[in-house]
Structure 1
Amino acid sequence: MSAIEVILVDSQDRPTGKMEKMKVHEKGLLHRAITVYVFNSRHQLLLQRRASDKYHCGGLWSNTTCGHPYPQESTRDAAERRLSEEMGLNLTLQPVFELSYNLPLSNGLTEHEYGHVYFAISDEQPVINLEEADEWRYSSLAEIECEIEANPAQFTPWFLLTFSRIPSELARFIAQQ
């Protein structure tokens, strides 16, 4: 199996090259990423707990799915691919916002990403890929907020960073549907 390459970008998300994914995280280089939030019709968020043997943040709760586009792959295609690969859901995703962050991880890796965030609303039940996630649940945003306040260490750093934007972005997303 060949190494997975990701897209290096500048601060405006313009491609500057490509590099093997692990090297990018070791060097802390800015690269393109996707993040997916799926809500059910009650506006509860579908969370996943990352598989315990993931190369970083294993065993932590996070957004529905995340990952990286392959070179020459659109961010929407990557988001829909990762949603299918990780959660077994084949949904049409809508772009909602973009952000950039530089988060050191506990294992010496760095998540320095220009993220494209996508939403969907669906009542389909996931069929998780156990290599990616070992548990899932739907929770209200209020419940998640209380959990974050009580025990932030049970969530991924990027989820903690982006979660504060989710209630207002979800309200805007719903109004546009």
Structure 2
Amino acid sequence: MQETVILVDEADNAVGSCEKLAAHLDGGQLHRAFSVFVFDAAGRLLLQQRAREKYHFGELWTNTCCSHPRPGETTLAAAQRRLTEELGFTVPLTEKGSFLYRAHDPISGLTEHELDHVFVGHFESAPTPNPAEVMDWRWQAIPEIEAELTAHPERFTPWFPLALNQFKNYSSG
């Protein structure tokens, strides 16, 4: 199935749509995206390692899940859909803000240019990841993640440290 993303301006107004892969070519077109951060009661973040077969940034560690809403789909509904598709569970999610970024993947040649909406939720069990989406997962405390990001930034997606820095204080909210 061909995926379509919502093209936006910097104020997050929809200005059109585009096939997902095409939106990531030639420096990337600005499009709407989301990142989900799920915490447990101890404040640990659920990280996933992206499947090797992902179209870009495969095998890198990142936040709980991330993707793009489809035209006609709310960003919240898309976040909950992808949480279920990638990790096999759903929880109530709260939007905590958004940020704009651009990141190039030298391996695939694709560029992310996204207005990324960040959602936070809480979960107290083990996920059941879809192996086509998720290679591995772990719960990890924020200070440990920050230390690993400093020592080995190449292990993580480029958007993850940006989002983590802005939204890490929402583990209790």
Match of 2:53 in 1: 53
Name the SS of the counterpart of 2:24 in structure 1.
Answer: helix
CA shift for structure 1 position 124: 2.3
- For residues 40 and 129 of structure 2, what CA distance do their matches in structure 1 show? 16
Query: TM-score normalized by structure 1?
Result: 0.93
Structure 2 unaligned segments of length 5 or more: list them. none
CA shift for structure 1 position 164: 1.3
- For residues 166 and 74 of structure 1, what CA distance do their matches in structure 2 show? 21
Which is bigger in relative contact order (C-alpha 8 A, separation at least 6)? 2
Name the SS of the counterpart of 1:26 in structure 2.
Answer: coil
Q: Is the 8 A contact 2:88 2:130 kept in 1?
A: yes
- Deviations along 1:10-66, whole A, 9 cap, x unmatched? 010000000100000013000000110000000000000000111111111000000
Match of 1:141 in 2: 142
- Deviations along 1:82-119, whole A, 9 cap, x unmatched? 00000001111111111111111212111100111000
Q: Report the AA paired with residue 99 of structure 1.
A: F
Q: Is the 8 A contact 1:89 1:124 kept in 2?
A: no
**Does 73-82 or 154-163 show the bigger shift?**
154-163
Q: Which runs of 4+ in 1 moved over 2 A?
A: 166-171
- For residues 143 and 10 of structure 1, what CA distance do their matches in structure 2 show? 36
RMSD, aligned α-carbons: 1.0
Match of 2:132 in 1: 131
Matching of residue 12 in structure 1 with residue 37 in structure 2: no
Query: Greater helix percent: which structure?
Result: 1
Aligned residues: 171
Match of 1:165 in 2: 166
Name the SS of the counterpart of 1:80 in structure 2.
Answer: helix
Percent of residue pairs bearing the same amino acid type: 43
